[in-house]
Amino acid sequence: MKRHAVVRSATLHATLVLSLLLAGCGVIWPRVQVEDNQPPLLPEVIPQPAEATGSIYRAASYRPLFEDHRARHVGDTLVVQIVEKISASQSSTSSVDKKGGLAAGVTALPGMNAGKFGRANIGATGTNSFEGKGATESSNDFSGTITVVVRGVLPNGHLLIAGEKQIGVNENVDVLRFSGQVDPRAIQSGNAVPSAQIANVRLEHRGRGQQAEAQAVGWLSRVFLSLAPV
Do 183 and 221 fall within a single domain?
yes
Do 181 and 198 fall within a single domain?
yes
Do 177 and 112 fall within a single domain?
no
Handedness of CA 191, 194, 195, 198 (dihedral sign): negative
Confidence band for 81, pLDDT divided at 50, 70 and 90: very high
Contact call for residues 197 and 188 (beta carbons, < 8 A): no
Kindly report whether the global pTM for this prediction surpasses the value 0.85.
Answer: no
Domain holding 206, by residue range, is: 66-87+143-227
| Most confident of the following: 33-47, 56-70, 179-193 | 179-193
Q: What is residue 80's predicted lDDT score, i.e. its pLDDT?
A: 93
Confidence band for 218, pLDDT divided at 50, 70 and 90: low
Buried b (16+ CB within 10 A) or exposed e, 202-213: ebeeeebbeeeb
Do 130 and 207 fall within a single domain?
no
Do 159 and 221 fall within a single domain?
yes
Q: Domain count for the chain, please give it.
A: 2
Asked whether residue 203 is assigned to any structural domain, the reply reads yes
Q: What is residue 59's predicted lDDT score, i.e. its pLDDT?
A: 58
Asked whether residue 20 is assigned to any structural domain, the reply reads no
Calculate the CA 179 to chain-centre distance: 17
Percent share of the chain, pLDDT over 90: 15
Q: What is residue 30's predicted lDDT score, i.e. its pLDDT?
A: 47
Confidence band for 35, pLDDT divided at 50, 70 and 90: very low
Asked whether residue 195 is assigned to any structural domain, the reply reads yes
Distance CA 160, CA 144 (A): 20
Asked whether residue 15 is assigned to any structural domain, the reply reads no
Q: Please determine, for residue 125, whether its predicted confidence score (pLDDT) is greater than 80.
A: no
Distance CA 64, CA 219 (A): 58
Asked whether residue 113 is assigned to any structural domain, the reply reads yes
How is 104-129 classified by DSSP, letter by letter? EE----TTS-GGGGTT-EEEEEEEEE
Distance CA 153, CA 43 (A): 11
Q: What is residue 20's predicted lDDT score, i.e. its pLDDT?
A: 55
Q: Which stretch of 26-40, 170-184, 191-205 has the lowest confidence by average pLDDT?
A: 26-40
Contact call for residues 152 and 45 (beta carbons, < 8 A): yes
pLDDT in tens, 145-188: 999 999 998 988 899 999 998 888 777 788 889 999 999 999 99
User: Angle CA(53)–CA(58)–CA(60) in degrees, nearest 5?
Assistant: 110
Q: Please determine, for residue 31, whether its predicted confidence score (pLDDT) is greater than 50.
A: no
Q: What is residue 94's predicted lDDT score, i.e. its pLDDT?
A: 81
Do 77 and 164 fall within a single domain?
yes
Q: Which residues contact 118 (CB under 8 A, 6 or more apart)?
A: none
Mean pLDDT over all residues of the chain? 73
Q: Name 178's bridge partners.
A: 163, 203
Q: Which helix (H) or strand (E) holds 180?
A: strand 172-182
Contact call for residues 87 and 139 (beta carbons, < 8 A): yes
Q: What is residue 34's predicted lDDT score, i.e. its pLDDT?
A: 44
Q: Name 17's bridge partners.
A: none
Do 130 and 177 fall within a single domain?
no
